[in-house]
Structure 1
Amino acid sequence: MSPPADSYLAIPPGDHCLSGNLHTGATRGKVETIEEAPTYITSPHPGKGNGNILFYYPDVHGFYNNAMLLMDAFADAGYTVFGIDYFRDDPVWKHRKDKDDKTTDPGFDHAAWRGKHASFARATVPKWTKTIAETYGKETTKYCCVGYCFGAPYVLDSLTAEGFIFAGAFAHPGALTDEQFQNLAKPLLLSCAENDHAFPPEKRQKAQRILQEGGKKYQFQLFQGVGHGFAVRCNLDDAYERYVKEQSYRGIVEWFNFWLSQ
Structure 2
Amino acid sequence: MSCDNCKSGFKWDGQSIGKETTLDKANAYVTGDSKDAAILIVTDIFGWTLPNIRILADHYAKECNATVYIPDIFGGEVVDPDMLSNPEKQKTFDPKAFIFERNNKEIRWPEIKEHAQTLKSQYKKVAAIGFCYGGWAVFKLAADPSLIDAISTAHPSLLEKSEIDGVKVPVQVISPENDIWYTEELKKHTLETLPKTGVPWEYVYFPGLTHGFAARGDPNNQQQKDGFERAKRSAVNFFNEFLH
TM value normalised by structure 1: 0.83
1:252 to 235, 238, 242: 235
Q: Deviations over 1:94-118 (max 9, x none)?
A: 795569436874xx54333213223
Whether 1:122 aligns to 2:105 is: no
| 1:35 alignment partner in structure 2 | 24
Cα pair distance change 1:94/1:81, threshold 3 Å: closer
1:160 to 96, 120, 143: 143
Structure 1 gap segments, 5+ residues each: 1-10
Quote how far apart the aligned CAs of 1:244 are.
Answer: 1.3
Contact 2:153 2:173 in 1 (8 A): yes
Query: Number of paired residues?
Result: 240
- Structure number with larger C-alpha Rg: 1
| 1:200 alignment partner in structure 2 | 183
Q: Which has the higher helix share?
A: 2
SS of corresponding position for 1:101: helix
Distance 1:170 1:233 in 2: 14
Distance 1:57 1:29 in 2: 17
Contact 2:116 2:147 in 1 (8 A): no
| 1:132 alignment partner in structure 2 | 119
1:69 to 49, 55, 65: 55
Cα pair distance change 1:242/1:102, threshold 3 Å: closer
| 1:4 alignment partner in structure 2 | none
Whether 1:59 aligns to 2:44 is: yes
Q: Percent identity?
A: 24
Q: Deviations over 1:56-108 (max 9, x none)?
A: 11111112111111111111111110111112332333795569436874xx5
Q: Deviations over 1:126-166 (max 9, x none)?
A: 112222333x43xxx21111110001111111111353311
SS of corresponding position for 2:10: coil
Contact 2:7 2:90 in 1 (8 A): no
Distance 1:56 1:81 in 2: 7
Most deviating of 89-98 and 153-162: 89-98
Structure 2 gap segments, 5+ residues each: none
SS of corresponding position for 2:146: coil
Quote how far apart the aligned CAs of 1:34 are.
Answer: 2.1
Divergent runs of 4+, >6 A: none
Distance 2:163 2:179 in 1: 20
